[in-house]
Amino acid sequence: MNIIDELGLINQTIAQLEADARRIKAELIARGVGKYDGTLFFAEVQHYDRATISPRLVREVLDSDLIPSVTEIKPIDAVVVKSLGE
């Protein structure tokens, strides 16, 4: 198997596992806050607030000349793999 197909298959497997994990997490969250025991692991459902900075609100509130002075631009390397059927 070539490296591209190997990476594509790994990505598909990861995507399915992440979808399964999201579904299970949603079921646990529906049970409510608390600790839930399995035979090998336990899960704890927590609820808390997280502060985040909204880019949309920053653009609305800050002067457009100030935004570049607080913006970091970083170079990113990325690999995008898509099925030949897409």
What are the sequence ranges of the domains in the chain? Answer: 3-70
CA distance 18 to 12: 10
Beta bridge partners of 42: 37
pLDDT of residue 62: 87
Question: Length of the chain in residues, anyone?
Answer: 86
Indicate the pLDDT class of residue 24, thresholds 50, 70 and 90: very high
Q: What are the tens digits of pLDDT across the range 67-83?
A: 888 889 999 999 999 89
